A and B are shown apart, each in its own frame.
Chain A
Amino acid sequence: MTAPVVLARVTKAVPDGRARRTVLAEIDLEVAGGELVVLAGPSGAGKSTLLSIAGAMALPSSGAVTLLGEDVVRLRDAHRAALRRRGVGFVFQELGLVPDLSLEENLRLPLVPTGGPDADEAGRIEGLLEELGLGARRHDLARTASGGERQRLALARALVRAPQVLLLDEPTAHLDPDHAAALLARVAAEKARGRAILLSTHDPRVVAHAAVDRVVRLEAGRIVR
């Protein structure tokens, strides 16, 4: 059975003045269901770009990306968006919250194009808000939330559609040890539910976490081990 995330010989080059700079080169990577893969490496190594490509948010310059069995490069924009909506949960390094929306409205954002939450999704929203300790603040604006609350909200939004693939970009970057541990525990629980998880970090606590199955080290756009 094909892994939910398959990258084959993926290269990404971006304009840099008159020339083009290679951000990723010849990347081969698979993440299976129920597997937690950590992308480690220094800043600028290409981790975030790799996550964007793996999540069908950006396209490679060359190579193939298969996400949940779909050839991402060949998909039209609307289908790629539907694939992201249906099967991928993203936690951005910058969290990607809309500060002028309430916590609950941020959670509902992925569901707007399909007409808002159905009964299952409404129940999941309730559950996530309570499980992650955000229930009491659901109507407050995201801008008023603390760093920890925002991080949990970003994770909750990534999980709101119960995606098969979870992508997290430096999720512990701004968290204290307690919050980081809680978040990793939650990620481990999602792995146990069978989700394919790709997580980028340069935090040694994450790399050493017991739930991590594999660490892929990225330097200057290439996998070094």
Chain B
Amino acid sequence: MRRGLALLAYAFGAVLRRRARSLVLILALVVTSGASGAVFLLGESLRATSDALLDRAPRLTLQALVAGRPALLSEVELERVRSIPSVRAVRPRVWGYLHQEALEGNIVIFGMEATELAAGRAAGLPETLAADEVVLGAAFARLLGFRQGDRVALALPGRPGAPEVLSIATVLGADTELAFGDAVIAGPATARRLLAIPEGAATDAVVDVFPPEEIGVVSERIVAAVPGARLIDREALRRRRALTFEARSGLASAALMPLVLAFLVLLFDRLSGLAEGERREIGILKAVGWSTADVLAARLVETAILGALGAGLGLALAYGYVFALGAPGLAEAFLGWSNVRPAALFVPAGGDAVILLLAVVLAPYLAASIVPAWRAAILDPDRAIREGS
């Protein structure tokens, strides 16, 4: 313990005495760990946010396809599903996309029953919506500067020049942006009118199965009962989203590889090229009784101090960049380039993710420093003192 503390104190002193070299390495590590940390934290945050949203999504959703295109579900088809054993309830949903020139993008219209609105009170939904009222997603509202009480004109495909004008009952909070940023929530009748969906038909349906272990069997029976049925299992969707963010995170990490390699080369070069004074100092240490292991330990501790400072600072900057600033520039690569997209990211990474990241960043750094440290430690003291003098 005493030996460790004494070596630590010596290494700290060496970091301060070799300021120029220390600063170069710290700066390089700040850039490398900051860039790779931002990619990792952004991916982790999106995964966590997506998971949190999926936790509230239905376990099983039924859609219909005709010739590979989404089609409406009819009342007859929904009745067939209701009659399958273990199906406790079938709740038809009305939703769809509307292209808006003003946004140069699509918005999503959701029709919500009063019971669904009540369930969404915590998320900021009103208790009821009148026929001419809607709730706006935060990204959509922000992009066009809408606030509660304003009126919004939605262009409809069948009515050029005659938009539907609706009152904004409220605007959803930023914490719902990843799922509802581009949403317009309306009552069911209003949603049908906007999307031209006839009474009785549905875009899709939530199927409540009990017991949940029967989902596999029920799914097979639904496929048999409804031609063109497509079933979306929440857990399958969770895996697909995770893979999506992992793929984007992987691509961004691959783009950073040249930076990481350049840093490792710089590190090896800086640590290998001992200055005359350093050679002499190592010679002195060994001459006064330091063993190769002592010198190696001191060099590695010195490197670890630089690593902890550089990586710590880099990751702190990455954390602020992702969670305080919303990762400008990088978020587009993960969230897509739609005009109506989430502004900020929402589930900050936990301590375990940060510790894992620190370990991942420091591992190659420390590995690259071992050989130079060893080469320094095995210097012959007699030669080092004479040649360094």
> A residues touching B (Cβ–Cβ < 8 Å)?
48-49, 52, 55, 57-58, 77-78, 80-82, 84-86, 88, 90, 92, 94, 96-101, 105, 109-116, 157, 161
Q: Which of A57, A78, A94 is the one whose CB lies under 8 Å from B293?
A: A78
Q: Shortest beta-carbon distance, A41 to chain B, in Å?
A: 17
State whether A115 and B291 are in contact (beta carbons under 8 Å apart), knowing that A94-B389, A96-B283 are contacts in the complex.
no
CB of A109 within 8 A of CB of B288, answer yes
Known: A78-B291, A100-B17, A157-B288. 13 other contacts (CB 8 A): A49-B382, A55-B287, A81-B290, A82-B291, A84-B287, A85-B289, A86-B289, A96-B385, A101-B13, A111-B6, A114-B2, A115-B5, A116-B2
| Cα–Cα, bound, A99→B386 (Å) | 16
B window 282-300: CB within 8 A of A: 283-294, 298
Count how many chain B residues have C-beta atoms less than 8 Å from C-beta atoms of the other chain. Answer: 31
CB of B291 within 8 A of CB of A96, answer no
CB of A90 within 8 A of CB of B2, answer no
Q: Shortest beta-carbon distance, A88 to chain B, in Å?
A: 8
Q: Shortest beta-carbon distance, A194 to chain B, in Å?
A: 21
State whether A113 and B287 are in contact (beta carbons under 8 Å apart), knowing that A58-B380, A94-B389 are contacts in the complex.
no
Listed by A's residue number, 19 A-B pairs whose Cβ atoms lie within 8 Å are: A77-B292, A77-B293, A81-B286, A82-B289, A96-B287, A96-B288, A97-B284, A98-B281, A99-B277, A101-B17, A112-B3, A112-B7, A112-B294, A112-B298, A113-B289, A116-B2, A116-B6, A157-B288, A161-B289
* Among B13, B288, B294: residue with most chain A CB under 10 A: B288
State whether A57 and B290 are in contact (beta carbons under 8 Å apart), knowing that A98-B281, A113-B3, A115-B2 are contacts in the complex.
no
Q: Shortest beta-carbon distance, B290 to chain A, in Å?
A: 5
Q: Which of B6, B285, B380 is the one whose CB lies under 8 Å from A115?
A: B6
B window 253-311: CB within 8 A of A: 277, 280-281, 283-294, 298
**Residues of B contacting A99 in the complex (Cβ-Cβ under 8 angstroms):** 277
| Cα–Cα, bound, A97→B284 (Å) | 7
CB of A92 within 8 A of CB of B385, answer yes
**Residues of A contacting B386 in the complex (Cβ-Cβ under 8 angstroms):** 48, 94
Q: Which of B2, B283, B294 is the one whose CB lies under 8 Å from A81?
A: B294
CB of A112 within 8 A of CB of B284, answer no
**Residues of A contacting B285 in the complex (Cβ-Cβ under 8 angstroms):** 109
**Residues of B contacting A77 in the complex (Cβ-Cβ under 8 angstroms):** 291-293
Is B210 interfacial (CB-CB < 8 Å)? no
> What is the 8 Å Cβ interface bit string for chain B, positions 63-103, against chain A (1 contact, 0 not)?
00000000000000000000000000000000000000000
Q: Which of A48, A49, A109 is the one whose CB lies under 8 Å from B284?
A: A109
| Cα–Cα, bound, A78→B297 (Å) | 13
> What is the 8 Å Cβ interface bit string for chain B, positions 295-333, against chain A (1 contact, 0 not)?
000100000000000000000000000000000000000
How many interface contacts (CB-CB < 8 Å) are there between A and B? 88
Across the A-B interface, give the 10 residue pairs with the lowest CB-CB distance, nearest first.
A85-B289, A115-B2, A81-B291, A94-B389, A110-B288, A58-B382, A78-B291, A115-B3, A113-B294, A52-B382
Is B34 interfacial (CB-CB < 8 Å)? no
| Cα–Cα, bound, A78→B289 (Å) | 9
> What is the 8 Å Cβ interface bit string for chain B, positions 174-188, against chain A (1 contact, 0 not)?
000000000000000
State whether A110 and B289 are in contact (beta carbons under 8 Å apart), knowing that A58-B380, A105-B13 are contacts in the complex.
yes
Is B37 interfacial (CB-CB < 8 Å)? no
Is B381 interfacial (CB-CB < 8 Å)? yes
A53 — nearest CB in chain B belongs to which residue? B382
| Cα–Cα, bound, A96→B289 (Å) | 13
CB of B290 within 8 A of CB of A113, answer yes
CB of B283 within 8 A of CB of A112, answer no
**Residues of B contacting A114 in the complex (Cβ-Cβ under 8 angstroms):** 2-3, 6
A112 — nearest CB in chain B belongs to which residue? B6
CB of B292 within 8 A of CB of A81, answer yes
| Cα–Cα, bound, A55→B293 (Å) | 19
| Cα–Cα, bound, A101→B281 (Å) | 11
A51 — nearest CB in chain B belongs to which residue? B382
**Residues of A contacting B281 in the complex (Cβ-Cβ under 8 angstroms):** 98
CB of B292 within 8 A of CB of A96, answer no
A88 — nearest CB in chain B belongs to which residue? B289
| Cα–Cα, bound, A81→B281 (Å) | 16
Q: Shortest beta-carbon distance, A125 to chain B, in Å?
A: 14
| Cα–Cα, bound, A184→B95 (Å) | 99
CB of B3 within 8 A of CB of A84, answer no
Q: Shortest beta-carbon distance, A9 to chain B, in Å?
A: 20
CB of A90 within 8 A of CB of B6, answer no
**Residues of A contacting B284 in the complex (Cβ-Cβ under 8 angstroms):** 96-98, 109
Q: Shortest beta-carbon distance, A71 to chain B, in Å?
A: 18
CB of B292 within 8 A of CB of A112, answer no
State whether A94 and B385 are in contact (beta carbons under 8 Å apart), knowing that A81-B291, A115-B3 are contacts in the complex.
yes
Q: Shortest beta-carbon distance, A183 to chain B, in Å?
A: 19
B290 — nearest CB in chain A belongs to which residue? A113
Q: Shortest beta-carbon distance, B54 to chain A, in Å?
A: 55
| Cα–Cα, bound, A114→B7 (Å) | 9
**Residues of A contacting B288 in the complex (Cβ-Cβ under 8 angstroms):** 84-85, 90, 96, 109-110, 157
**Residues of A contacting B283 in the complex (Cβ-Cβ under 8 angstroms):** 96
CB of A78 within 8 A of CB of B287, answer no
| Cα–Cα, bound, A80→B294 (Å) | 13
Q: Shortest beta-carbon distance, A168 to chain B, in Å?
A: 13
A49 — nearest CB in chain B belongs to which residue? B382
**Residues of B contacting A86 in the complex (Cβ-Cβ under 8 angstroms):** 289
**Residues of A contacting B389 in the complex (Cβ-Cβ under 8 angstroms):** 94
CB of A78 within 8 A of CB of B6, answer no
